Amino acid sequence: MDTCVKESASEWFNTMPATGRIYRLIDDALDAGKSRNREDAIKALGVSGDPRAVRPLVDCCRDPDPVIRLHAIDALNKLKSGRSVNALVERLKDRTERPEIREHAADALASIRSYGAINSLRECSLDPEEMPVIRAYVSHVLERSVIL
């Protein structure tokens, strides 16, 4: 994510009223009717550092809109919560998912660095039936993280 988008999400989050701000963001992130507001809310949840953001972001990982899924994965990458591992593994292993989204899920799993996350990355990198580009990317993520 570029710096401008990151700053925009942070600024938007900081302009929210302090009381109930996280719940408003969660409501906006889950509101399927307003795509742009959803994207902003998801980005803000990612920079919030609030553990209450994890569950709604996990739900957004299963959204029909690939843009929403991508933003949710990037937000979970920032939060680095072990509670998001199953949803991220689901995105990584879904062979019908867009390769870009699968790669972002691999990055998020590597940043969490839990046993389950790393084990799933290793399995993916060794799966002979996996797309070669995904296998190579996951191997690179593992090497870059010095966790092979």
- Per-residue pLDDT reduced to its tens digit, 54-100: 999 999 999 999 999 999 999 999 999 999 999 999 999 999 999 99
Find tokens 């553990």 and name the residue. 51
0.95 exceeded by pTM: no
Say what the pLDDT of residue 24 is: 94
Q: How far is Cα of residue 44 from the mean position of the Cα atoms in its chain?
A: 13
- With H, G, I as helix, E, B as strand and everything else as coil, classify residue 63: coil
Residue 1 has what pLDDT?
A: 45
Furthest C-alpha separation in the chain: 51
Q: Which H/E stretch holds residue 75?
A: helix 66-79
Structure tokens at 92: 């990584």
CA dist 108 and 126 (Å) reads 19
* DSSP class of 97: S
Asked if pLDDT for residue 18 goes beyond 60, the answer is no
The confidence score (pLDDT) of residue 33 equals 78
Taken in order of first residue, the domains within the chain and their CATH numbers are: 1-67 (no CATH), 80-148 (1.25.10)
Count of residues for the chain?
148
Question: E strand or H helix at 62, and its extent?
Answer: none
